[in-house]
Amino acid sequence: MIYKDFKDLKLSALGMGAMRLPTLEGDDARIDTAATQEMVDYAMAHGINYFDTAWGYHSGNSELVMGEALKKHPRDSFYLATKFPGYDLGNMPKVKEIFPEQLKKLRVDYFDFYLMHNVNEVNIDAYLKEEEHGIYSYLLEQKKAGKIRHLGFSAHGSVEVMRRFLEAYHEGMEFCQIQLNYVDWTLQDAKAKMELLKEYNLPVWVMEPVRGGRLAGLSEKDAETLAALRPEEKPVAWAFRFLQSLPEVVVTLSGMSNMEQLKENIEIWGEEKPLSDQETESLLHMAAGMMDGLLPCTACRYCTSHCPKGLDIPKLIGLYNDYKFTGGGFVPAMVISTLPEDKRPGACIGCRSCEKLCPQQIKISEAMKDFDVKPWG
């Protein structure tokens, strides 16, 4: 197992995420505790020492099951992370209730890592209402009391949202967890997000390294492209080797659902084999091809000057592309839910004024009509 330095700690570069644990009869709320125990024990025995869960994973049961699975292991043999559930605005006033309950559920006296969860367009204003909710100050108190060793945040929001959060709280933040893989390098602007974190000297934790399994099951054509470069590597390995090429990345979290996935990932992370510049270029070129069929918007913004509804068309097209590539996904719906009704895709009246100015000749009105996403929450 590869280990990465973080302050005075040696963290396994591969962390076990507890959002996709094995379940019974396909019911996400019913975790297979025996299978989970077996996976945790195997992970520990083979060098993984970082475990990540959250209040809402598996309908609130992930913390309970992980607490049970980890209790047989010495507390100083693993690093445990969980999160304040700010993705639900109803939780914002409840940090003093939720945090102690998480300690109980996970059967520990302290958390090695604790995150303000899922900073995004929906909750950024609430997170920043420190005088009203006091989340940040309360968590700093818990850190001072030794119940949190390291404080950070995770983000699904835009670069602009992350910047607002960091402008307010950067002094207390030690790391940040973002969705990062070779597709989202451009599709969700992960490259720019990582550059922002570099400005604040914050190391990167990675979630969705294989985009929910999408990058482990490539098309035959794309798999052959990669095999021609590294015949010994499977597609899933390429997703991880891409991350190994980024020195800012400390921990890569993988939500493994069975022992086969766990064993395969541990084998990959047994050695560091970063991509060469040429391999990275080839991989990103392939990723661009995977997004063929998406709208080729360059965000020139010529269209916005002639939209009678004042829609932020480049932003909506970016969300539309994510929506189409993912086959839905919660991020587009989440962002749309923050927009006023008259600024959502459905507000487009189909006048096509924007299309007359589009250098890429995108059929914008058709895309807005097709963007039938239900607002998140």
Query: The CATH number of the domain where 157 resides is what?
Result: 3.20.20.100
Contacts of 31 (CB under 8 A, 6+ apart): 21, 22, 23, 24, 58, 61, 62, 65
Count of domains observed in the chain: 2
Instruction: Provide the 8-state DSSP code for 343.
Output: G
Question: Do the domain assignments include residue 269?
Answer: yes
- Taking residues 134-162, what's their average pLDDT? 96
Q: Is residue 359 domain-resident?
A: yes
Please name the helix (run of DSSP H) or strand (run of DSSP E) that holds residue 207, with its range, or none: strand 204-207
At residue 188, the pLDDT reads: 86
- The answer to whether residue 377 sits within a structural domain is no
C-alpha pair distances (Å), 9 with each of 21, 84, 106, 135: 26, 23, 21, 26
DSSP-based three-state secondary structure for 275: coil
In-domain check, residue 137: yes
Q: Is residue 305 classed exposed, middle or buried when 0-12, 13-18 and 19+ CB atoms within 10 A define those classes?
A: exposed
What is the pLDDT at residue 138?
97
pTM of the model: 0.85
Q: Which domain holds residue 214?
A: 3-284
Q: Sorting pLDDT into bands at 50, 70 and 90, what band is 361?
A: confident
79 touches 50 (CB < 8 A) = yes
Q: How much is the pLDDT for 372?
A: 66
Pull the structure tokens for residue 69: 């699975």
329 in the same domain as 184 = no
User: In the prediction, which pLDDT does 374 show?
Assistant: 65
pLDDT band at 376, cuts 50/70/90? low
